[in-house]
Structure 1
Amino acid sequence: MTTAEAIALVTAARTPDDLFGGDASHRAYRRLARLLHPDLAPGAEAAEAFARLAELWAARGGTPGPAAETVITTGRGTYRIGGVFRRGASAVLYESGPDTLLKLPRSHADNDLMRREADALATIERDGDPLLLPYVPRLVDSFRHRRDGVERLANVISRAPDGFVSLDEVRRRRPVLDARDAAWIWRRLLVAVGAAHRAGVVHGAVFGHHVLVHPIDHGLVLVDWSQSVPLGTPITALVTRHRDDYPPEVLARKPATPATDIHLATRSVAALMGDRAPTPIKRFVRGSLLSPPGDAWRLLGELDDLLDDLYGPRKYRPLHL
């Protein structure tokens, strides 16, 4: 079966039985999921078919999550599994407590993404600056979950407190931000990636849907570390819809450096300001993209100097959405 045939099959399906009516329902789901997975089949049609496949699979009662189970007990704790918190391209987040979320890959083929995230968060907690840990989620637990003969690696991670929204949501509500509002987001994002780099980790996917901010408290959390790699290791798990946003060295499979995250972070913040940023900030953005420095802390210092020259002493500005 080709990807085009899989798209046509899922698009034509009206009920779960149209796709999973035989005895080998799990095999049918896994085969279609591999053909339509966003990391392997780029394009809007494949993405829509993949989402539709997930809906039909869930409607059948075959969602790749805990399903009817309400409690999972591991050596580290007991987690009550609630409803779906968010569905991503490669994983599903489930409610698992007032302060935690359980993350399961849609397919066992993506267990490596969960392992990357678990390794990155554990490394940052172990080797990072304790004062900067709030900028990343905390890994609460990581374990193997088996259901219907399929084993998936699950991560339990801390969830951002109420009031945090993604940069994608900020752009949806406020298409263009004043540079002074974007500035505090940029500063905190540089701190987040800088803290990871000091611990030897590159996030590798600093995009708007992975950056959560609190508009009033000015907090920031950089989430979804499943594409992360150790410094000096090529990034192999790309977010397909952001392929054009990656710097050339990533597409060439060269070793990831701090400049990789700095490039992506700069693009994310520049998108918030659009064309309304003052000329000095536009020049600063252009320079950061053309030749990203290899040190987030150095760039943060240069940014602070620029902001001081433009705006003087810092003043608190709530970001009204």
Structure 2
Amino acid sequence: MTATTRPATAPYRVRTFDEALAALGRPFPAGAGEAARHYRRLARLLHPDTAPPGRADEAEAAFVRLTALWRRHTGDGPSLTTTRGVYPLGPVLAEGDLAVLRAAGPGTVLKIPRRPADNDLMEREAEILTRLHTVADARHRAYAPRLAESFRHRGPDGAERRVNALQRLRGFHTLAEVRALHPGGLDPRDAAWMWRRLLVALGWAHRAGVVHGAVLPEHVLILPAQHGLVLVDWCYATARGAKVPALVERHRALYPPEVTGRRPATEATDIHLASRCVEQLMGDRAPRPLSAFLRGCTLPAEARRPHDAWRLLAELDDVLERLYGPRTFRPFTMPGTDA
């Protein structure tokens, strides 16, 4: 009878929470690829969100230890680890009213709230973006950034924050930047394509039952050469007929009365805010027909304002054609930038 040898158990094969805990006492395997796979496997098993019942605190301590061990092993800088992957913390790209945006690899940014009290707004953004990219018309999904994932993270201060991992948008500029580069007012023919794209973005969101609630200059991003536009910062978004959860205080003068008065928001709320953005861009350069059009979009009474962004777009096109003739592509650049 020939003796058989039972194969040895692979030292880095872990399948359970307890096996992952035990693995923390062993070095990472040789080879960068195998070490990374082992690290991700442990991260999935030890993450507090996936811990066995009653062991969340134990998981959190183990997860912190795992992160430190991995950082020591790789010599890398700080990173955030989730059950899906590792996000290296890069430089700060932008600082908003609620959160800081940090680079996290080639195609991702992490949106990290300044205060844990704003976690609910981060969760709201994640829910809204998920809805827009699953329920809303797929043809227009480029008008909002993609959400990679939303996760909880406990920072060095011991506070837990909700972090949103978002698509990184390169080459874009805010309407606030556009306005700053054109202090005498933007040519209405250039403002026209931005206005049109913005109405498409709003019409798309509104048909999915979503009101953005904060269409402000810093939240509207344009891609100059391609005439692209993305509407960002969906933390303030809400369902049609609900109240906007918060407002950006320094822009209070741009909001319609239903927001400052804590009344329900509708599609007309976004149209008012978008119109204020365009009004600021053009300044005194707006011809009389466009000024009259803007006044009709920013009436104090919500019920008297337009509610259908798609219909409003058609009406705007009629006004623009009467002013400037048939629509043609008009190149646009940002002076002093690469765009």
Instruction: Tell me, yes or no, whether TM beats 0.5.
Output: yes
Aligned: 1:184 with 2:197:
no
Shift of 1:236: 2.5
Poorly superposed stretches of 4+, deviation over 4 Å: none
How far apart, CA to CA, are the structure 1 residues paired with 2:136 and 2:232?
A: 16
Partner residue in 2 for 1:265: 274
Aligned: 1:121 with 2:129:
yes
Question: 311, 332, 335: which is aligned to 1:298?
Answer: 311
How far apart, CA to CA, are the structure 1 residues paired with 2:97 and 2:77?
A: 23
Aligned: 1:70 with 2:83:
no
Partner residue in 2 for 1:135: 143
Aligned: 1:145 with 2:153:
yes
Is the Cα contact below 8 Å between 2:97 and 2:248 reproduced in 1? no
Deviations 1:174-202 (A, max 9, x none): 12111110000000001111111111111
Aligned: 1:216 with 2:229:
no
1:137 partner SS: coil
How far apart, CA to CA, are the structure 1 residues paired with 2:331 and 2:136?
A: 29
Partner residue in 1 for 2:109: 101
Partner residue in 2 for 1:275: 284
- The percent identity for this pair of structures is 57
Aligned: 1:310 with 2:323:
yes
**AA aligned opposite 1:212:** L
Deviations 1:145-195 (A, max 9, x none): 01242110000011212x210000001111211111000000000111111
How far apart, CA to CA, are the structure 1 residues paired with 2:81 and 2:203?
A: 35
**AA aligned opposite 2:199:** L
Deviations 1:23-70 (A, max 9, x none): xxxxxxxxxxxxxxxxxxxxxxxxxxxxxxxxxxxxxxxxxxxxx963
Partner residue in 1 for 2:333: 320
**AA aligned opposite 1:165:** H
> Which has the bigger relative contact order, CA under 8 A and spacing at least 6?
1
1:128 partner SS: coil
1:126 partner SS: coil
Partner residue in 2 for 1:171: 179
Partner residue in 2 for 1:205: 214
How far apart, CA to CA, are the structure 2 residues paired with 1:116 and 1:85?
A: 22
Partner residue in 1 for 2:264: 255
Count of residues in correspondence between the two structures: 253
How far apart, CA to CA, are the structure 2 residues paired with 1:76 and 1:123?
A: 20
Deviations 1:223-252 (A, max 9, x none): 111111111110121100111211111122
Deviations 1:81-102 (A, max 9, x none): 2111112222111101212100
1:114 partner SS: helix
How far apart, CA to CA, are the structure 2 residues paired with 1:152 and 1:212?
A: 26
Shift of 1:106: 0.7
Deviations 1:110-157 (A, max 9, x none): 101111111110111111111101011111110000124211000001
Segment of structure 1 superposing worse, 228-237 or 259-268 = 228-237
Unaligned runs of 5+ in 2: 1-75, 335-339
2:235 partner SS: coil
How far apart, CA to CA, are the structure 1 residues paired with 2:295 and 2:241?
A: 25
2:244 partner SS: coil
Shift of 1:294: 0.9
Unaligned runs of 5+ in 1: 1-67
Segment of structure 1 superposing worse, 181-190 or 88-97 = 88-97
1:275 partner SS: helix
How far apart, CA to CA, are the structure 1 residues paired with 2:133 and 2:210?
A: 11
Deviations 1:284-305 (A, max 9, x none): 1111112421111111110011
Q: Which entry has the higher C-alpha Rg, 1 or 2?
A: 2
How far apart, CA to CA, are the structure 2 residues paired with 1:249 and 1:236?
A: 12
TM-score of the superposed pair, with normalisation by structure 2: 0.72
How far apart, CA to CA, are the structure 2 residues paired with 1:88 and 1:229?
A: 19
Aligned: 1:227 with 2:240:
no
How far apart, CA to CA, are the structure 2 residues paired with 1:69 and 1:88?
A: 24
TM-score of the superposed pair, with normalisation by structure 1: 0.76
